């Protein structure tokens, strides 16, 4: 088979865990892909042990080691998300929920910054500065912050991040990530080596697409250091490919890089050879 990475002039990645770093799965991966993403083990909760202490998950170590050994790029997923985030992020010392008081807001800002900087420091210490020897070159900085419905004027998901900090948490996430990955732990003389993305799903659907676009336009207008827009395309054969194209065209006039961060196309059941062939043409 022709390697997928040879058919496109953009990085072609795959989400994995350590099971794909050895044996036949590894051989298949290295033939077809030039970039990897951690499926679960770079999400916020994966960086903390049962006592809430920061440490690298062994799965993240395995992926970084594999990328380093095989000259693969790493697209990080994800720094800030409403899901798979330790509950203590949003709690006071006594376990009660943080409020919207100025003091509690500052607690969450500090935790957000500390988390991002701890991730950057560990990666840079173990694998070298970004833009130098470190294989990581991109992050989904914030993930799935756009509401699925139109009930809110700002179009944003009402997460714990939002409840306490409002839309500010998105700006801060990018500011802290830019400072950590593109300044403090960047190789000398390299200009912004880590590309910073926002990421969301259902962007091929017009309502959410509009809310997503409005948010990105606001971020850019405020000077937030956002480099790119990610599209999670979780679709079926019933979804016209033109809808995916339109999602990308919607953002084409903005000064951002666009990525398809996730792509899966369901066939429906029962699965037949004809459906698999149709799925292949869809991809």
The catalytic site residues sit at: 144, 262
C-beta of residue 67 within 8 angstroms of C-beta of residue 135: yes
d(CA 51, CA 118): 16
Surface-to-core class of residue 205, CB atoms within 10 Å of its CB (0-12 exposed, 13-18 middle, 19+ buried): middle
Q: What secondary structure letter does DSSP report for 40?
A: S
| E strand residue ranges, the chain | 13-16, 35-38, 73-81, 136-143, 195-201, 228-236, 257-266
Report residue 163 as tokens. 């409840």
Q: Which string of DSSP letters, residue by residue, matches 21-39? A: GSHHHHHHHHHH-SEEEES
Give the residues across from 233 on adjacent strands. 263
> Does a cis peptide bond (omega within 30 degrees of 0) precede residue 78?
yes
d(CA 48, CA 267): 37
- 106 by DSSP, 3-state: which? helix
């Amino acid at each position: 088979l022709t390697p997928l990475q040879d058919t496109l002039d953009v990085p072609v990645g795959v989400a994995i865990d350590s099971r794909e770093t050895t044996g036949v799965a590894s051989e298949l991966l290295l033939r077809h892909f030039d970039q990897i993403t951690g499926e679960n083990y770079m999400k916020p909760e994966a960086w903390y042990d049962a006592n809430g202490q920061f440490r690298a998950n062994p799965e993240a170590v395995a992926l970084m080691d594999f990328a380093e050994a095989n000259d693969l790029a790493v697209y990080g997923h994800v720094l800030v998300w409403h899901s798979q985030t330790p509950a203590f992020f949003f709690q006071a010392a006594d376990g009660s929920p943080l409020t919207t008081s100025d003091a509690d807001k500052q607690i969450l800002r500090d935790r957000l910054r500390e988390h991002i900087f701890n991730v950057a420091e560990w990666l840079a210490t173990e694998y070298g500065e970004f833009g130098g020897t470190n294989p990581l070159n991109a992050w989904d900085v914030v993930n799935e912050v756009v509401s699925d419905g139109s009930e809110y004027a700002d179009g944003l998901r009402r997460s714990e991040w939002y409840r306490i900090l409002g839309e500010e948490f998105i700006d801060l996430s990018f500011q802290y990530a830019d400072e950590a990955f593109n300044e403090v732990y960047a190789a000398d003389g390299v200009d912004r080596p880590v590309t910073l993305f926002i990421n969301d799903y259902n962007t091929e659907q017009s309502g959410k697409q509009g809310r997503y676009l409005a948010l990105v336009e606001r971020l850019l207008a405020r000077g937030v250091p956002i480099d790119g827009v990610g599209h999670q395309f979780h679709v079926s054969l019933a979804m016209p490919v033109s809808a995916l194209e339109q999602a990308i065209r919607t953002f084409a006039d903005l000064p951002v890089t666009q990525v398809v961060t996730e792509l899966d196309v369901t066939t429906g059941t029962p699965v037949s050879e004809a459906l698999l062939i149709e799925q292949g043409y869809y991809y």
